[in-house]
Structures are given as C-alpha cells and as structure tokens.
Amino acid sequence: MAYDLQISPWDSSPATLTVPILAKELARAGLATTERPDRFGHWLDLDGQESRLRLVVEEGFVRYAAFRFVPEDNESVVGAVVGVFKGLGWLVADEDGPV
C-alpha cells in the first residue's frame, strides 16, 4: 500500500522555492532526481526508486508538493524527503496530520 504526504509552505509568504533548488536539496540528502514536467503536472522522479514527488509549479516556483511513497522502496526515502522539506520550512502532513 502506498503512503502519501501532502507538503506545503507554512504560511502565505511569497514563494521562493524553485525546482532546481529542491532537486539540489534532495541530492544533498542522497536522493538524485529526474525532473519530468508533463501536461498533468510537474514530477520529480527519485532515481532508482518507484516513489515520486508531484509538484504544483506556478510562475517558476513550487507552491505545493505531494509525495507518494511506494513500499517496495526503502523507508529511509520518506525520512529524507520529510527532512528536506522541513529543513526548507515547509509543513509535511499525512492523513493523520503533521509528520
């Protein structure tokens, strides 16, 4: 069963996070990514993993993210993604509330 996280800024302050900055921060956490925008959204695939991030990008800035963890991947992926976004000052929540 997949595990989903909803990820958003804490407040309505001006957006400053870009996809390249996010990709760089994920790489620092050991998660290389491949950017894959398409007509349905903006995706960051985690190289070597089935899990991925879906991003809402407006005017070049990430406004929202959803992370789908696939159980076949190592659980450390969840911790790394959560750590990156929390380090950027974003709120990370699952169906039970903040993570």
Query: What's the domain range around 71?
Result: 3-94
pLDDT surpassing 70 at residue 1: no
Which CATH number belongs to the domain containing residue 12 in this structure? Answer: 3.30.70
> Beta 52-58 vs 61-69: how paired, if at all?
antiparallel
Q: Is residue 65 part of a domain?
A: yes
Q: Is residue 99 part of a domain?
A: no
Average pLDDT over residues 63-92: 95
- The number of angstroms, rounded, from the C-alpha of 94 to the middle of its chain's C-alpha atoms is 13
pLDDT digit string, tens, across residues 9-66: 987 767 889 999 999 999 999 999 999 988 877 999 999 999 999 999 999 999 999 9
Q: Is residue 82 part of a domain?
A: yes
Structure tokens at 22: 């996010």
What CA–CA distance (Å, rounded) separates 40 from 14? 24
By 3-state DSSP, what share of the chain in percent is helix, strand and coil, each rounded to 5?
20, 40, 35
Nearest Cα neighbor of 46 from 9, 17, 18, 76 is: 76
Q: Is residue 55 part of a domain?
A: yes
pTM score of the predicted model? 0.91
